[in-house]
A and B are shown apart, each in its own frame.
Chain A
Amino acid sequence: MESNLGWKEYIITRAIRVAGYSAIVFVTLIFYFLLREGLPTLAEVKLPELFALRWYPIEKYFGILPLISGSLIVTIGAALIAIPFGIGTAIFISEIAPRWAREILKPLVELLGGLPSVVLGFLGILVLAPNLRLLLNLPTGLTALTGSLLLGAIAVPTVVSVAEDALDSVPRSYREGAWALGATRWQTIWRVTLPAARSGVLTAVMLGVGRAIGETMTVMMVTGNAPVLVTSLGGLFSPVRTMTATIAAEMGEVANGSVHYHTLFFIGMVLFIISLIVNVTASAVVFRSQKRAERVLS
């Protein structure tokens, strides 16, 4: 009986340990399969052709710059919306709102985070795009701007929750110290609390932007899907095509193992590396600030 128990415990502990390592295994597997299916592109498409200005796979034009520029412009637009509104909402929830307002706001923001992106894309097509077209007098409402507005909404919950955590973790004594010195609540927020939480707020911004770059369904549905190189902010008002939308729209129709197939995986690899950089940097910022907090407290 005794040894039986020992065996059972041994096996369970082993299994738990293996499960603990699974995240590393999966990240490695994902990267391996993206490389395996994506790297052949470099042998099949010459580098200058890959970084050319034309994406037209049927005619064997595999220039991914228009797609990168499309992702960039939509993401910049989304960031311009999500950063101020996300941080503003986080400040409101954490510093200004009375208790009852907080109890209403937090679940509502979570609700936005829970809305499937395909629902926002759907509303974008039926409601937002036609109205934007009329309002701005454009030939079509399916533009980078429409995508940016919706992506901004998608990134807001991420920014709010991370930034609010950061503001919340600023010790109350900081605020009390500022008030005692005669600062108003606003001065305290602006000069003490926000700077003290800046690494967390920065993380919030990065994760929000990362969320926006990776978003697929909404942008595929509302940005008009024209793989045109965007060279200025004016491109916001015309149709674009992002990297994510290209993969989602074209992968269903390509032959496995073709050049087009490999190139789509190559784009996936680029997206993976971008998200890797964003997330590793963001977590490095968090780890560093935790260390600093420990130092201050000890």
Chain B
Amino acid sequence: MKLNRNLSQRLGFGLITLMATLTVIPIIVVVIYIITQGGGAISLEFLSGFPHDGMRQGGIMPAIIGTFYLTLGTAVFSVPLGVAAAIYLAEYAADNWLTRTIRIAIINLSGIPSVVYGLFGLGLFVLFLKFGTSILSASLTLSIMTLPVIISTSEEALRAVPQAFRTVSISLGATRWQTIRRIVLPEALPGIITGVILGLERAAGETAPILFTGAAFFLPRLPNSVFDATMALPYHLFVISTQVPEMPFQIQYGTALVLIAFVLGMNLIATVVRSRARARRQW
């Protein structure tokens, strides 16, 4: 009986360990594979040039710039709105049906398929508000998609600030907003920044929401205004891996590498912000 128990424990632990290993090893392999396959394509010309010869040669600069614009545009709308919503939920909202409805709405927003966001953006921003397929429409669409991530991570960061900080500030005569602005927000800032970057990281890598709202197959110049369509890294990778025949592998892998470097670079910044803030924290 005793041996049996130990045997089953060993088998069980072995199985679970094996599954975790099988889950993680492909991730490492994939990243290393893309780096080795795409590394050769990376050059100054690749990063700073326009694509030519039906995108089979040249660089991907307009796609990089486009993704940068879209990420920035998304931040402009989603950060103020998301952080304000988080402040409402963490500092003002009472525990009633309205707050519960807001929470359910946020959970729903986070679960809506990305392509449905694309449809919504097409219906509201592109056609109804007549923004056209543009950076503006795509950024607004991505903003709403990003909102739940920013709200929930920011709320968590705000809630982590000890209640005593607020009590002391209020008792010294500060108003509620002064307390939030001067005491709570600065303390929660690293957590909020982490959440914002994680949200924007998702926006930067998405393709489906921008398919019909702002992504261009190919543009010979950079966009001039927010009402222009733009090339974007994820859409460009989709295009060159499915729509362009006889595409050189190296450019495809190079594009994939730049995209994951962009996205994982943001992830890395978020991780650094978080761990530095944790190390400095005194409460």
Contacts and interface: CB of A to CB of B under 8 A. Distances in A.
Contact of B23 (A24, A89, A248, A268): A89
Contacts of A12: 177
Interface residues of A, number: 88
A108 interface: yes
Contact of A251 (B88, B107, B212): B212
A12 B178 CA distance: 11
A201 interface: no
A41 B246 CA distance: 39
Contacts of B23: 85-86, 88-89, 109, 156, 160
Contacts of B193: none
Given A126-B241, A184-B6, A114 B264 contact: yes
Nearest to B84: A19
Nearest to A20: B88
Main secondary structure of the interface of B (DSSP, over half): helix
Contacts, number: 258
Interface in B187-202: 201-202
Given A23-B106, A85-B22, A248-B208, 20 more contacts: A16-B84, A20-B102, A21-B102, A33-B123, A36-B123, A89-B23, A92-B16, A93-B20, A116-B259, A125-B242, A184-B5, A184-B6, A190-B12, A211-B111, A248-B211, A268-B115, A272-B116, A275-B112, A276-B108, A279-B111
Interface of B: 5-6, 8-9, 12-13, 15-17, 19-20, 22-24, 26-28, 30-31, 33-34, 80-81, 84-85, 87-89, 92-93, 100-120, 122-124, 127-128, 144, 147-148, 151, 175-178, 201-202, 204-208, 211-212, 234-235, 237-238, 241-242, 249, 252, 256, 259-260, 263-264, 267, 271
Interface of A: 5, 8-9, 12-13, 15-17, 19-24, 26-27, 29-30, 33-34, 36-37, 84-86, 88-89, 91-93, 96-97, 105, 107-112, 114-119, 121-123, 125-127, 153, 156, 160, 184-187, 189-190, 207, 210-211, 213-217, 221, 244, 247-248, 251-252, 256, 264-265, 268, 271-272, 275-276, 278-280, 282-283, 287
